[in-house]
Amino acid sequence: MSVEINCYVEGVEEFQDALRNFDSAMQRQVHRQLVSWAADVKTLAKQLVPVRTGHLRSSIYAKISEWVAEVGAEATYALFVEFGTHRMRAQPYLEPAIQRYLPRLEQIILDALDAAKAEAGL
């Protein structure tokens, strides 16, 4: 079982269409930045997660597939720790890590677009 938090942003489809029109160098640049961003979120989540045995912490992962950054945890009880239960208070670690780096994600994308435009002489 894994925990997944989805962030929906208006205009993503239009943004993806626009990105398809840019050259592959810009796409590689954005991909590298997404890898770095996801790694930073993963690192912070590992610092924030409550630890008893270390299994939950060791199950935290970050994956990049095209324009999607996925950060989650595969431990079967990850969901219960993140959101709590009627017997246990929530101890969020993924959501705060994502929120901390969300402004940087926007800047990464804007910087990559600016660099790609500069390379193209626009």
Q: Is residue 15 part of a domain?
A: no
H helices within the chain, ranges in order?
A: 12-20, 24-48, 55-58, 78-83, 94-120
Q: Count structural domains, the chain.
A: 1
- For residue 1, the model assigns a pLDDT of 52
Which tokens sit at 31? 């991909």
Residue 46 lies in domain: 30-117
Q: Is residue 14 part of a domain?
A: no
pLDDT tens, 60-102? 999 988 778 899 999 999 999 999 999 999 999 999 999 999 9
Closest CA relative to residue 49, chosen from 97, 98, 5, 99: 97
Q: What is the mean pLDDT of residues 26-34?
A: 80
* Per-residue confidence band for 109, with pLDDT thresholds at 50, 70 and 90: confident
